[in-house]
Structure 1
Amino acid sequence: MYNFALNHYYRNWTTASVELNRNLRALWEQHVFWTRLTVNSIVDGLADVKPTTERLLRNPDDFAAALAPIYGPVIASEFAKLLTEHLTIAAELVTNLKAGNTQAAQNATKRWYANADQIAVFLSKINPYWSVEQWRHMLYEHLGLLTEEVTSRIAQDYTRNVALADPIQAQALGMADVMTSGIVQQFPMQF
């Protein structure tokens, strides 16, 4: 798992910094929570797949609402668009894996990683304290964990599937902390 060595930043955080971090952590936790529920609904053919997916797809707009006061509506909207693509490709991947459609699943996986690259480049362009390499590493780790979550669910390896929830959550919180740290460094007068 990625090493988030940010302790020296935490000591100097203001109330505004802590509130930003709390909000970003909640958004990343919601991202992985609703992703997990959507995966379970798709794989298990549950009747709640539509409302669960709709709730998951609200997450990019919630991120945009949090980022718009900092970066403006255009940048926030672009991030929401990229994150929505991440989620819709993921749903397509899960559906193809469940159906055993290997070729379509491979195509979706390729596009999913290309989307992660786009997100990493985008984030590095809007904040000088975020590097493409750092975000690519974190996003690839995120995709790897989610892929394992999906495959363990499809295989009905529920012990492994449940055990993955903890590292997935920890990794998501790490992304929130990196995001917060970069914003605080970029806008010190605001935070």
Structure 2
Amino acid sequence: MLKLNQDLRSLWEQHVYWTRLAVNSIVGRLPDEVPTVNRLLRNPTDFASALKPFYGADIANTFAQLLTAHLTIAVELVKALQAGNTSAAADAQRRWYANADEIAGFLAKINPYWNENEWRNMMHEHLDLLTKEVSSRLSGDFVQNVAVSDQIQKQALEMADVMTRGIIMQFPAAFTL
């Protein structure tokens, strides 16, 4: 149980860490943008590897696809905002929230101990916080940017804990002493 929780916490921390670095690279037009985004896009595959022993390859890969879409839309959104393209940003934001709802529905479908509304709320909070992080980065409010990053990390760990509890409840035999 402890290893599962540590693994999921690590994956969610990597998710927000590499997202932050990608945002900073895109907004700052840094030369590490491509390798940073590529590393970020490894996160869904790492999640699939963690979920595969419990849910099998098909479900794990579907989650990876949904999470990859989540991340690629985020990159698209940040680039649109950085370029000042408000219509493209609005379209990306709409698709981003729709993807979050799809992730919540998928998770609730595969685990009876995961509540769709709870996941939707967590995913929307995650997107709201990331939107604030991007906005503060774009405006140069670095104090706010760091403060929001701390909130994002805390919230990501809460998602990891919810994920852990659901897996343990669904597969108790996998965790017997």
Please, which of 87, 90, 104 is the counterpart of residue 74 of structure 2?
Answer: 90
Question: What corresponds to 1:64 in structure 2?
Answer: 48
Match of 1:107 among 91, 108, 131: 91
C-alpha distance in 1 between matches for 2:146 and 2:12: 18
Distance across 1 between alignment mates of 2:46 and 2:137: 27
Residues 130-165 of structure 1: per-residue CA shift (max 9 Å, x gap)? 011000000000000000000000001111001111
Letter in 2 for 1:166: D
Counterparts of 1:181 and 1:116 in 2: how far apart (Å)? 20
CA distance in 2, matches of 1:38, 1:32: 10
Which of 16, 22, 31 aligns to 1:38? It is 22
Q: Which runs of 4+ in 1 moved over 2 A?
A: none
Cα separation, 2, equivalents of 1:41 and 1:113: 23
Which residue of 2 is the match for residue 80 of structure 1? 64
Q: State percent identity of aligned pairs.
A: 64
Number of the residue aligned with 2:119: 135
Return the match for 1:123 from 100, 107, 111.
Answer: 107
Per the alignment, residue 186 of structure 1 pairs with 170
Q: CA deviation at 1:50?
A: 0.5
The aligned residue for residue 143 of structure 2 is 159
Measured in 2, the distance between the counterparts of 1:102 and 1:46 equals 22
Q: Distance in 2 between matches of 1:146 and 1:54?
A: 19
CA distance in 2, matches of 1:53, 1:190: 34
Describe the SS at the equivalent of 2:172. Answer: coil
Q: Does 1:168 align with 2:148?
A: no
2:5 equivalent to 1:26: no
Q: Using CA pairs below 8 Å that are at least 6 residues apart, which structure has the higher relative contact order? A: 1
- Name the Cα RMSD after superposition: 0.4
Cα distance, 1:54 vs structure 2: 0.5
The amino acid that maps onto 2:170 is Q
How far off is 1:37 after superposition? 0.1
1:166 is displaced (CA, Å) by 1.1
For 1:127, the aligned partner's letter is N
Task: Structure 2: state its 5+ residue gaps.
Answer: none
Alpha-carbon distance between aligned partners in 2 of 1:72 and 1:138, rounded to the nearest angstrom: 25
More helix by percentage: 2
